[in-house]
Amino acid sequence: MMEHAQLIERIRAFLETYQADLSYCHGADHVRRVAKLGVKVGTQEGADCQIVETAALLHDIGNVPLGWSKLALGRDENDFLDFLALYVLPSTDHGELGALIAERFLERLGYSNEERQHVKRIISEHTKGTE
């Protein structure tokens, strides 16, 4: 498993690649603000900041416009994009969709099952107003 800083760097690079030519409802600035605030609050609360930062960076990954999978075809992350294409159209909840996308991506980065489930839960619940 890579170090925390390396993992976060990979996630940021991934987001930059996919956000660069796409117009998110919630864009890169929003994601950066949420991650910064999340780490600040997480530190105060004694949370696992790697989980918090990961979930914050990826929390809106499911908030993609229709057609993203088409635009992104041909990029390096082919497995991921196949997966995305399967779920983008039928999804109505970007928290649920984002959790599925994040799980796939984080598995490839070497996050443990427990870590992935934790991140997934945070992402899927951010659209539900529970807890």
Residues that bind Fe ion (CB under 5 A): 26, 60
- Give Cβ neighbours of residue 117 (< 8 Å, ≥ 6 apart): none
Closest distance to Fe ion from the beta carbon of 54 (Å): 15
Closest distance to Fe ion from the beta carbon of 30 (Å): 6
CB nearer to Fe ion: pick between 25 and 75: 25
99 touches 61 (CB < 8 A): no
Closest distance to Fe ion from the beta carbon of 26 (Å): 4
CB nearer to Fe ion: pick between 3 and 130: 130
57 touches 8 (CB < 8 A): yes
- Give Cβ neighbours of residue 42 (< 8 Å, ≥ 6 apart): 48, 49, 52, 53
CB nearer to Fe ion: pick between 26 and 104: 26
Closest distance to Fe ion from the beta carbon of 94 (Å): 6
CB nearer to Fe ion: pick between 118 and 126: 126
Task: Give how far Cα 124 sits from Cα of 20, 37, 44, 94, 107, Å.
Answer: 24, 19, 23, 8, 17
